[in-house]
Amino acid sequence: MTTSLSRIRRMPTAEAEVASGVRDPRPDHGRPIETEYRPRHPLDLGRTLLYQRRGAGDPTMTTSGTVIWRASRTPDGIATLAVRETPGVIRGAAWGPGAEWALEQLPALCGALDDTVAEFDGSPHPIIAEAHRRNPGLRLSRTDLVFDALASSIFEQKVTGMQAFGAWRRIVTWFGERAPGPTPRPMFAPPSIEGWRHVPSWAWHRAGLEPPQARTVVESARRGAAIAHAVAAAADGPGRDRILTSLHGVGVWTAAETRIRALGDADAVSVGDYHLAHEVGYALTGRRTDDDGMLRLLAPWAGQRQRVIRLIGLSNAPREPRRGPRLHPEDHRER
């Protein structure tokens, strides 16, 4: 189906520019700066790094052949990072004002700071033990960009992944900044913290994000820099949760998701998730459970519960049979 010229003219300005292909021409990328990271442990680069991608159309992250591309807004400015794996070596190339920061952070993005994996013991359950044996290269990635992780987690509150990823794609493309470098498709870094505050109301609606989530992103951005600094400086998960949940509209689920993405927290559990407790219960016992039951099942792995959840996802554990049709949320954007 084609989009008519009159349809484009009725679009709000940012969306019309994206549809017509004129928004933010590719910046002059020049030559990249490069680095090598030689992990001292097995590394499954794809499963470690692509956990950070928010859906197949994420404008901040994509793949092209064997290269993983990531656009981010670093403390030093926009950066595009291209990562590829060769035997025993992870090679990174970066463009933009934040290129040096992105390359310095590359080992952490690849799980180098996931140091509790050496202490992990899967023996309390054979499914976990087997999944751990089969996936020695799984590491927990961290971006060290707290507010970006918080914003993307807010997008995913109480909606389907399809809705959240679609809204994220639209808002970041309309109001983010075009990433430099020879990216395989146009990529965008998320808005700045101040930029999130000034996304207009029409854009949230057009993007398909519900008003409560939109208000939470905007209100969180008012304290964004202070919150990000405090979370990064906090000593442990409970301390980080207290800081994050001090924000109106941010609960324990959103706090855990932020910790997982930004800080690679090996113990974070997204309590309140629509599916997670059922999946953990079914994998470990063959039956559904609730959040309290999930926490009891995960108790033998205190300190490593997020790792167990990731291993369940990679395991051959039983999956709960689907009993009904897939949810098709109603699209209200044209109203």
- Provide the Cα torsion 166, 169, 175, 179; round to 10°: 180
Which CATH code, of 2.60.40, 2.40.10, 1.10.600, 3.30.310, is assigned to 33-120? Answer: 3.30.310
What pLDDT is stored for residue 64 in this prediction?
96
Least confident range of 32-36, 260-264, 325-329: 325-329
- Candidates 214, 190, 193, 174; CA nearest to 54 is 190
What pLDDT is stored for residue 158 in this prediction?
85
Average pLDDT rounded to a whole number, residues 296-322: 93
220 pLDDT higher than 50 = yes
Q: Is 185 exposed, middle or buried (0-12, 13-18, 19+ CB in 10 A)?
A: exposed
221 pLDDT higher than 50 = yes
Place of tokens 């403390």: 75
Please report the sign of the dihedral spanned by the C-alpha atoms of residue 251, residue 257, residue 263, residue 265. positive
* Residue 122 contacts residue 129 (beta carbons within 8 Å): yes
What tens digit of pLDDT does each residue of 245-292 get? Answer: 999 999 999 999 999 999 999 999 999 998 999 999 999 999 999 999
140 pLDDT higher than 70 = yes
What pLDDT is stored for residue 21 in this prediction?
43
